[in-house]
Amino acid sequence: MSRIRSKGSLLVATGVVLTLATAAGCTSSSGKAGSGAAGGAAHKKVRLITGVKSDPFYITMTCAAQSEAQAKDMDFQADGSAQWDVSIQRPLLDSVAAARPDGLMISPVDTSALTPSLKQIQSSGTKVALVDTTVSDPSVGITRISSDNEKGGRVAADALAKLMNRKGSVVVISVKPGVSTTDARIKGFTEEMAKYPDIKVLPTLYDNDLPATAASQIQSTLAAHPDLGGVFAGNTNTGQGISSGLQHAGKQGTVKVAAFDAEPDEVAALKAGTLQVLVAQDPAAIGKDAVDQLAASFDGKSVTKSAGTSMVAITKANMNDPAVSKYFYKSHC
């Protein structure tokens, strides 16, 4: 996400859309959409494996990818992991490998563990597009489409620092180490918070993408650090858990929260005042662009190696603006 570092507070106040510098879980299938799309893309088999299939971020991505694939007369199917875990995603990847589709869109849940499988799929002729998350090996994927997560973390830091009056303690709660997107968010957040000498950044906590764990962690942190003034939630489920934990602790609105994403529960929490800032991505654009890049490859056209989407900082003050609310994530297609 191409964020403006020193103007993060202004972005939070105005809801300015942020343009990236670089760059769901319903199982669905398109029939022949009848659009008659010409060229090599028509009738190609394309599969999508998302990170967590019940996550509205990935649902939104899947819906957009499905719609774009139908428009191009592709054979599209999607599935995703039940939770963020290599051992759960790997069988899905193995199943797709056995089917030998023409194209695979995938959000790998680890930066390295799935690389051998992805390289084998590539070598068999399947074109791979990495969406949202990525792997460290640059040889994997004909295209990588994601948000500039590091800069998104910086925007969250600036917004939170302003809400905290630039003093107190702040903690980051995220999924787990080794996830490309959330690792980048943490890096950007902690580096940007160094600009605020009166804010103490506590050690990062990991909840394994479990809202109940995040709720427990925030309550424990509050007990150990009475001066806690802010929390940065690394993703959707974490934001949900933090919101719940603060409500139970009676700290709703007192401890300021900046969270990534804009899924329905987070939007409700923003409206209720439990969350103060949502840094929303554009998963629909990621899904659509990935299909377009695969289609370009099938047609023998040039492919964009690295691409990004837009983001917006959402607050209670601007959430009803149609230009902002269009970034809210879907819970179903």
DSSP character at residue 300: T
pLDDT of residue 30: 38
Task: Please check whether residue 328 lies inside any domain of the structure.
Answer: no
Mean pLDDT of 7-12: 31
149 pLDDT tier (thresholds 50, 70, 90): confident
Question: Each residue of 77-117: pLDDT tens digit?
Answer: 999 989 889 999 999 999 999 999 999 999 999 989 999 99
Residue 2 placed within a domain = no
pLDDT at 13 over 70: no
Structural domain includes residue 119: yes
pTM above 0.85, yes or no: no
How many domains, in total, are found in the chain? 2
Residue with tokens 């650090």: 225
On whether residue 217 sits in a domain, the answer given is: yes
Range of the domain at 201: 8-17+149-280
Tell me whether residue 327 is in a domain.
no
Q: What is the mean pLDDT of the chain?
A: 86
Do 156 and 276 lie in one domain? The reply is yes
Read off the pLDDT of residues 263-291 as tens digits, 9 standing for 90 and up.
Answer: 898 899 899 888 899 999 999 999 999 99
Is there a single domain that holds both residue 175 and residue 261?
yes
Q: Residues 191-235: pLDDT tens digits?
A: 999 999 999 999 999 999 899 999 999 999 999 999 999 999 998
- State the CATH number of the domain containing residue 115: 3.40.50.2300
pLDDT of residue 5: 24
- C-alpha distances in Å from residue 45, one per residue of 102, 115, 117, 124, 246: 5, 22, 19, 14, 46
313 within some domain: no
Which tokens go with 208? 């394994």
Give one DSSP letter per residue of 239-257, joined into a string: HHHHHHHHHHHT-BTTBEE
Q: What integer pLDDT is reported at residue 181 of this predicted model?
A: 84
Find how far residue 255's CA is from the centre of its chain: 24
DSSP annotation string for 141-183: -SEEEE--HHHHHHHHHHHHHHHTTT-EEEEEEES-TT-HHHH
